[in-house]
Amino acid sequence: MRTGIIALAFVVVLGAVSALVADSWLAMGGVSMGWTGIVAMIVGILLTLGLGIGLMALSFYSNRSGHDAEVDAYHREQGGPVRPDQRDS
């Protein structure tokens, strides 16, 4: 429930900022861009945001689920690289 509220708040803020940016863009004089350019820009922005949010979510999920610890333990068993804070000096 809490995650849903946070996600909804994020979407509302994102929509408000997007509307503000669109209004500012359209208020500028002398800027001519066709509807295909506007659609392409919106799609590019949304895909970029989606990719960034998705990758950050995956990194947090990986950290919380312990997948990183499993790989780190395997590397230590094999004598591979370890994090600098785990080295035996």
Given a cut of 70, whether residue 86 has pLDDT beyond it is: no
Average pLDDT on 27-54 reads: 91
Closest C-alpha to 87, from 67, 66, 76, 70: 76
Average pLDDT on 39-52 reads: 97
Given a cut of 70, whether residue 81 has pLDDT beyond it is: no
Radius of gyration of the chain (CA): 22
Residue 26 or 71, more confident? 26
Residue 72 or 21, more confident? 21
Q: Model-level pTM greater than 0.85? A: no
**Consecutive H or E run containing 73:** helix 67-77
